[in-house]
Structure 1
Amino acid sequence: MPVLSETPAQPRSRPFLPLLSVSLLTGVGYALAGPFLSLFLIKEVKAGPVAVGAFLLVSALVSMVVSTLVGRFSDSRAIRRALLVVAGVSGGLAWVLFAVLRDYWLLLVVAVTVWAMASAQIPQMYAYARQLLERSGSARAPLAMSGLRTTMSIAWVGGPPLGALLLAGGGFTGLFAVSAAVYAVAVVVILVWLPELGPSAPPSPEVARQSGLRREVVLAAAAFVLLQCATSVGVTAMPLFVTESLGGTTRDAGLVLGLCAALEIPLMLGFGALAMRYNLRVLVLSGGAVALAYYSIMLFTQATWQVMAAQVLHAVVISAVMGLGISYFQDLAPDRPGYASTLFTNTYKTSAMLVGPLLGLAQHLGYRTAYGMGLTMSVLGLALLLAARPQSATPAA
């Protein structure tokens, strides 16, 4: 009786280029229409502020639960490519339904079903990339993962402006239809060019002894929620801070945000290259330390040119924390790339849900306090990262 190999033949790294395409297409598909979802609910569905907030909160919570379950399920079965296809089809179907439905409750059903399943696309894509790189024997995982994350930044540089043009020309129906088409193209790329990799490799005895929800994983997750929330609050408050507190124009605010986004792209690739030579945890910690400097400077800025100059530091923070974060979490749970990737993406979703209340508080206290909040969260996040030092495995008896 022939013996079947437990793992498929090792693929070369050639599928990584199509995977970059899938990442870019997925990013563009969401960046085109996602920023206008609240406006859609208000203008087209006639939902009130409470209903809009409930819609976004419930859909985000359900998406986190679904993507977590999918992440745990994916690590033990040879289905990661199939999950990418299902998530991509779900995303496209969700945008099609958004294009034709105008009933709030039906749209909420869509959000907690097919749209929630689509949320597994990005973490499964990161997990697929990690598994692909391990199977091909590549030693450039941090650089490759940073490159994958960079495509998302590129998508968000061009996606919202293009989405605004599509909205002006074709309304919400046309905008959502284009997003659905972009998701469909991503599915085609997956089906044609990405192979199924099989289940994750069995963990070594040392890794197996460390599996589970360990102390350092919990602390790292809490740290990333705080560090990413600091960034999200600062970015969201930036237009208001520049125009209301510093007396700048909306053009100045746009230049500040655009400058930071432009700097992120080369810096993410640069930190990915550094991670091949230096300790990944040290680089992430350095990003947290730079965050302290950035928010301290922002508390004392008096002119828009000072804010622009400070964006160099902000881009370093984003590149080190968010750009290397996915590799950092995958190293914490090397036997479960789906679980680790989902945990990382869920830290961002959790931080995003905290932005609204914090921004409301900053509106009452003054928008400069948003950066005081950022400094406080960065201090706490850095402390948790320092406490999340991986423990050495205890030898088996």
Structure 2
Amino acid sequence: MAPGTVRHTPRLTRALFPLGLLFLAVGISTALVMPFLSLFLSTDVEAGPLKVTVFLIVAPLSGVLGSTVVGRLSDRGPVRRLLLIGGALAGMAGCALTAVVRDYWILLGLTVTALAVANSLFPQSFAYARQVLERDAPDRAAMGISGLRTVFSLAWVAGPPLAAFLLATGGFTWVYGGAAIMYGLAAVVGICWLDEVGAPAAAPATDDAGAVDAPDAARWTLLLTAAAFTLMQTPLTLAVQALPLFIRTDLGGEVSDAGLVLGLCAALEIPLMLGLGVLSTRLPLRLLLFAGAGCGAAYYALTAVATSVWVLVGAQVLNALFIAAVSGLGITYMQDMLPRHPGRATTLFTNSFPLGAMLAGPLFGVAQHFGYRLAYVICTALCLAGLALLTVVRPGTGYRGSRARTGRTDSTSGYRRPS
């Protein structure tokens, strides 16, 4: 390993530890609110089916728009720390008001403003982490990003049970109050412990030897890659929506068996995500991503022909490998394609999940009509289509997937040190 690789390891640890706390706080706040949003709208807000549907469509769309706008702003100067703090404060204000407001239109207004800005915290946290890793340990970028992604997964292990406890104890006032506290904690971490990182270098850039640094990938390459990730992330929502009904109607199991299957997958996903992060320092990122997508297609194909719940239980290793590869390594893959725009790159990737979730809605309706086993046939086709699109769309000559692990120091990483 090159000497420059570990030169800033103590500083890297000091930077990533508070960032891990921020990820945990943001993850818990999201996990408290999202699983019970439709219940909140139906019961406390007393919104009808049409209003609930409109809210559930507008919320992710406004989040995508908010993240995109903030992502473009974040790459124009050394302002990412301030954007993280601003997003956390917006989330705290939005959740605090939601804890006491029950007017549908006011809540919708909060969703498209404060909570849409708060939605940028997830991609901006990864973009901040990428810049820190490029500065201090460029050969460990994928491993670091995967490690931080597992913190978000851990938050989702703790968040829903905590939300259920708060809901039973104090209703949605406590649920949204708890989410506001978590956003407040994220803001405190940003204010007290995070340092501002240097702005991405302007393109085209040269390193100290005078060589031109890696350019950004072409626009169509980025859009088609984002489309591929959207295709592969659509099954993450569609399969979960169909699972309890599929187990009950097609496999003769209990709805509670879905909890066993999903819990096992979550338990396997975290160590596998860390393991793939370690492997990314030795194997090409693109190869690991393709292998993970192949595991996803194999899992959904196996589920489509399953005859018992135990087949699904045994196949969760494939499912966890798929989620770990796409959700963990996909961020780094997209960031490598936009080396001087980590905010835009991360936002392109993270937006693929809400877009995939919206696509899953009508596909679930088709499965309801023709049988829930069809949902997993569709998931298999979506995984294969996403994998095929990734295979056809080459990252281009500027792709840094291999160079990012060569141990370059910050003088050649494409980033300026903060002055």
TM-score, length of structure 1 as denominator length: 0.94
Q: Shift in Å at residue 209 of structure 1? A: 7.8
Are 2:273 and 1:264 equivalent residues in the alignment? Answer: no
Q: Shift in Å at residue 309 of structure 1? A: 0.5
SS of residue in 2 equivalent to 1:77: coil
Are 2:383 and 1:384 equivalent residues in the alignment? Answer: no
Q: Which amino acid aligns with 1:313?
A: L
Which residue matches 1:3? none
Q: Which amino acid aligns with 1:377?
A: L
Please show how residues 31-70 of structure 1 align to structure 2 within 5 Å. 31-70=31-70
Q: Shift in Å at residue 212 of structure 1? A: 6.2
CA–CA distance in 2 between the matches of 1:318 and 1:127? Answer: 20
Q: Which amino acid aligns with 1:141?
A: A
CA–CA distance in 1 between the matches of 2:197 and 2:148? Answer: 18
SS of residue in 1 equivalent to 2:59: helix
Which residue matches 1:335? 340
CA–CA distance in 1 between the matches of 2:393 and 2:222? Answer: 7
Which residue matches 1:98? 98
SS of residue in 2 equivalent to 1:140: helix
CA–CA distance in 1 between the matches of 2:124 and 2:271? Answer: 25
CA–CA distance in 1 between the matches of 2:241 and 2:150? Answer: 20
CA–CA distance in 1 between the matches of 2:218 and 2:93? Answer: 34
Q: Shift in Å at residue 258 of structure 1? A: 0.3
SS of residue in 2 equivalent to 1:216: helix
Per-residue CA deviation, residues 246-298 of structure 1 (Å, 9 max, x unaligned), is: 11112211100000000000000000011111110111111111122111111
Per-residue CA deviation, residues 3-38 of structure 1 (Å, 9 max, x unaligned), is: xxxxxx999201101101100110001101221111
Q: Shift in Å at residue 46 of structure 1? A: 1.0
Q: Which amino acid aligns with 1:41?
A: L
Which residue matches 1:324? 329
Which residue matches 1:19? 19
CA–CA distance in 2 between the matches of 1:331 and 1:23? Answer: 21
Per-residue CA deviation, residues 197-252 of structure 1 (Å, 9 max, x unaligned), is: 13123443587784365332122111100001022211221111112211111221
Which residue matches 1:28? 28
Please show how residues 165-180 of structure 1 align to structure 2 within 5 Å. 165-180=165-180
CA–CA distance in 2 between the matches of 1:186 and 1:339? Answer: 22
Alpha-carbon contact 1:216-1:387 (below 8 Å) kept: no
* Structure 1 stretches lacking a partner, 5+ long: 1-8
Are 2:278 and 1:273 equivalent residues in the alignment? Answer: yes
Q: Which amino acid aligns with 2:186?
A: A
Per-residue CA deviation, residues 357-393 of structure 1 (Å, 9 max, x unaligned), is: 1111111111111100101111111110001112226
Aligned-residue RMSD, C-alpha: 1.8
Please show how residues 136-155 of structure 1 align to structure 2 within 5 Å. 136-155=136-155
Alpha-carbon contact 1:10-1:135 (below 8 Å) kept: no
Q: Which amino acid aligns with 1:123?
A: P
Which residue matches 1:363? 368
Alpha-carbon contact 1:207-1:334 (below 8 Å) kept: no
SS of residue in 2 equivalent to 1:15: helix
* Structure 2 stretches lacking a partner, 5+ long: 1-7, 399-419
Per-residue CA deviation, residues 69-113 of structure 1 (Å, 9 max, x unaligned), is: 111111111110000000001111111111111111111110011
Per-residue CA deviation, residues 306-360 of structure 1 (Å, 9 max, x unaligned), is: 1100111000100111110100000011110000010011011110111211111
SS of residue in 2 equivalent to 1:392: coil
Alpha-carbon contact 2:32-2:175 (below 8 Å) kept: yes
Q: Would the alpha carbon gap of residues 191 and 102 (structure 1) be closer, same or farther in structure 2, given more than 3 Å must change?
A: same
CA–CA distance in 2 between the matches of 1:336 and 1:277? Answer: 25
Q: Which amino acid aligns with 2:95?
A: W
Are 2:291 and 1:292 equivalent residues in the alignment? Answer: no
CA–CA distance in 1 between the matches of 2:268 and 2:214? Answer: 41
Aligned counterpart for 1:282 among listed residues 287, 299, 314: 287
Alpha-carbon contact 1:75-1:336 (below 8 Å) kept: yes
Q: Which amino acid aligns with 1:109?
A: G
Which residue matches 1:224? 229
Which residue matches 1:5? none
